[in-house]
Amino acid sequence: MKKKSNYEEIRIIGLRGIPIIKEGDDIGKIICDAAKEQHIDIEDGDIIVIASKIVSKAEGRLIHLDTVTPSTFALRVAELTGKDPRLVELILQESNKIVKMKGRHLIMETRHGFVCANAGIDRSNVKGEKEIVSLLPKDPDASARKIMERIGELTGKKVAIIISDTFGRAWRRGHVNFAIGIAGMKPIKEYIGRSDMFGYTLRVTQMAVADELAAAAELAMGKADGIPVVIIKGYDYPKGEGTTQELIYPEEKDLFR
Amino acid sequence: MKKKSNYEEIRIIGLRGIPIIKEGDDIGKIICDAAKEQHIDIEDGDIIVIASKIVSKAEGRLIHLDTVTPSTFALRVAELTGKDPRLVELILQESNKIVKMKGRHLIMETRHGFVCANAGIDRSNVKGEKEIVSLLPKDPDASARKIMERIGELTGKKVAIIISDTFGRAWRRGHVNFAIGIAGMKPIKEYIGRSDMFGYTLRVTQMAVADELAAAAELAMGKADGIPVVIIKGYDYPKGEGTTQELIYPEEKDLFR
């Protein structure tokens, strides 16, 4: 298929060759090196989507469960849910509240305000150690900004960064990737008051494009293939400095919290 | 940027030139014609994502509110929510239950089992008539299958079809597109028991890739730009005949219904 000028496309490119990330690693530089290796130019307007797991690792957000002493409440919740009490202690420490506790499930509101199972704490994928868990980055927007600035320094290009994580949803089976940190873009595209093609005024429609971009990127990540970074080209995202806090309803406006 | 052989990409192509759809229109043929016009080859393994609105129109799922007589209950709900009683009557007719009713909001479980505002009934985008609303397709999987078979007939190619609609989510601001009808693929990609790159067994992870594909396609649709069809190339989706029912939790397994 030859590209003709009369259509546009969005391209989702999985970046191969990202090494195992260790604490202190310079993710911005690692991304630039991997892109160069694959002859992928980083260009102005690219969106780089990064799995939160590697950001957590670089930021030393790994905890050995041996170092955790469960509280009385954590012991009780662990008993009721069948989870490791030390894991429950960490989940509670990382959370504002328990949104839903039922069977083995602990749906939490994290300190950032995200609603997800186990406060986003994850056991898999940490090399050689089943007793080590990874926490979500402490301030994923700040992590995204730092990586964006580093890539800007190294390439002279203005990109947007999305840090993504895999969450379940209410009412629908299966997980999808969501944006938990962003830099260099706004997370929501507004169609407020814009008239549609028949001249009406559309009702307010706010599309959570940061989440859609995170979901699109996941398609190129796979789960166990070691592609934690995806570059998206050709999408005209809402410019400006946004925060993922814009993706979180204030509690009084949330119908389900 | 030249394409080298050492990376793969997923391409999301918005299909321009889809005309205003009327009842009885042959959407499969219209898609093939528009693709040809733009020199886009429809190939085996493509995923074609179609906004549910045009499927509803082709299937005559437009209702003039004048033809609707609200029940006593619809009148009461209309009063409490500030909605048009005739619209509320249709919302109730299209639904299994009210999941949440608060302020102006009516979050419904549709007859298909989807949880969304107003049972997916939409007022905008119907030409010249503010009193006409569009209902979701009656059986979106069947609609998808029909379009898939028609495209197969016309091109000899085996594609997958996703019919998408724009829904809100619990806990997160902003709308994203979800899959409400599929054909030629399974909606969930399973990572069950697959070992990760360090030799562990990953916990069960089921990715709702049909929803991720619908979200990815929305990025190329925009809301008011008249691009109701998007072709996705280069994604290795789970083959087989699936249904969007697989994306819906049975109620007893749903933590939030």
B75 Cα to chain A: minimum distance (Å): 23
Residue B171: left (phi > 0), alpha (psi -120 to 50), or beta? left
Residues of chain B in contact with residue A188, where contact means CB-CB under 8 angstroms, are 173-174
How does DSSP assign B198-247, residue by residue? TSPBPPP-EE-HHHHHHHHHHHHH-SSSS--EEEEES--PPPS---GGGG
The Cα A224–Cα A205 span in angstroms is: 35
Q: What is the 3-state secondary structure (H, E, C) of A191-236?
A: CCCCECCCCCECCCCEECHHHHHHHHHHHHHCCCCCCCEEEEECCC
Is residue A21 domain-resident?
yes
Is residue A98 domain-resident?
yes
Residues whose CB is less than 8 angstroms from the CB of residue B130 and which lie 6 or more positions away in sequence, other chains included: A200, B123
Q: How far separated are the first and last CA of chain B, in Å rounded?
A: 49
Is residue B256 domain-resident?
no
CB contact under 8 A, A202 and B223: yes
Mean pLDDT of B58-85: 96
Is residue B5 domain-resident?
no
Q: Which of A207, A113, A169, A244 is nearest to B247 (CA)?
A: A169
**How many pairs of residues across A and B have Cβ atoms under 8 Å apart?**
257
Query: Same domain, yes or no, for A50 and A77?
Result: no
Model confidence over A101-147: pLDDT tens digits?
Answer: 999 999 999 999 999 999 999 875 555 667 899 999 999 999 999 99
Residue A246 and residue B173 in contact, taking contact as beta carbons nearer than 8 Å: yes
CB contact under 8 A, B224 and A12: no
Which of A81, A100, A132 terminates a domain? The answer is: A132
pLDDT tens per residue across all 257 residues of chain A: 444 445 789 999 999 999 999 999 999 999 999 999 999 999 999 999 999 999 999 999 999 999 999 999 999 999 999 999 999 999 999 999 999 999 999 999 999 999 999 999 987 555 566 789 999 999 999 999 999 999 999 999 999 999 999 999 999 999 999 999 999 999 999 876 544 544 455 567 899 999 999 999 999 997 656 799 999 999 999 999 999 999 998 888 888 87
> Exposed e or buried b for every residue in B184-212, given b needs 16+ CB within 10 A?
bbbbbbebeeeebeeebebeebbbbbbbb
Query: Same domain, yes or no, for A157 and A30?
Result: yes
Q: Which two tokens stand for residue A151?
A: 């890539």
Which of A86, A114, A132 terminates a domain? The answer is: A132
Question: pTM for the full model?
Answer: 0.94
Is residue B235 domain-resident?
yes
Query: Same domain, yes or no, for A153 and A243?
Result: yes
The Cα B153–Cα B147 span in angstroms is: 10
**What is the ipTM, given to two decimal places?**
0.94
Query: Same domain, yes or no, for A158 and A186?
Result: yes
Residues of chain A in contact with residue B216, where contact means CB-CB under 8 angstroms, are 10, 12, 212, 215-216, 219
Residue span of the structural domain in which B163 resides: 11-243
- Count Cβ atoms within 10 A of the Cβ of residue B35 and give its class: 0-12 exposed, 13-18 middle, 19 or more buried: buried
Q: Which of B107, B128, B173 sits opposite A247 (nearest CB)?
A: B173
Q: Which of B124, B196, B220 sits opposite A124 (nearest CB)?
A: B196
Query: Same domain, yes or no, for A147 and A118?
Result: no
The Cα A100–Cα A108 span in angstroms is: 7
